[in-house]
Amino acid sequence: MNEERLIEIEIKIARQEDLVDTLNQLVYQQQKKITELEVMCAALARHLSDMSGQGSEAGAPHEKPPHY
């Protein structure tokens, strides 16, 4: 192999390593965001569940009165 070819291969490998590192960081950030969103969705589900439980106890305002 001539020296130019070896240098080209080393450059390509270095670029690929940089790309893999960049993609790895992106995947890490996305997973962190997904985890945050899952926690937020769970909190919202609990909040909605609590609100629906309170509504059935006091008679939800969107329900028709019994005389209808």
Is residue 61 over pLDDT 90? Answer: no
Give the pLDDT mean for 47-60. Answer: 74
Domain ranges of the chain: 22-49
Q: Which pTM does this prediction carry?
A: 0.62
Query: What single string gives the DSSP state of each residue in 44-59?
Result: HHHHHHHHHHHHHHH-
pLDDT tens profile 5-46: 999 999 999 999 999 999 999 999 999 999 999 999 999 999
Rounded to the nearest 5 degrees, what angle is found at the Cα of 61, between the Cα atoms of 60 and 64?
Answer: 90
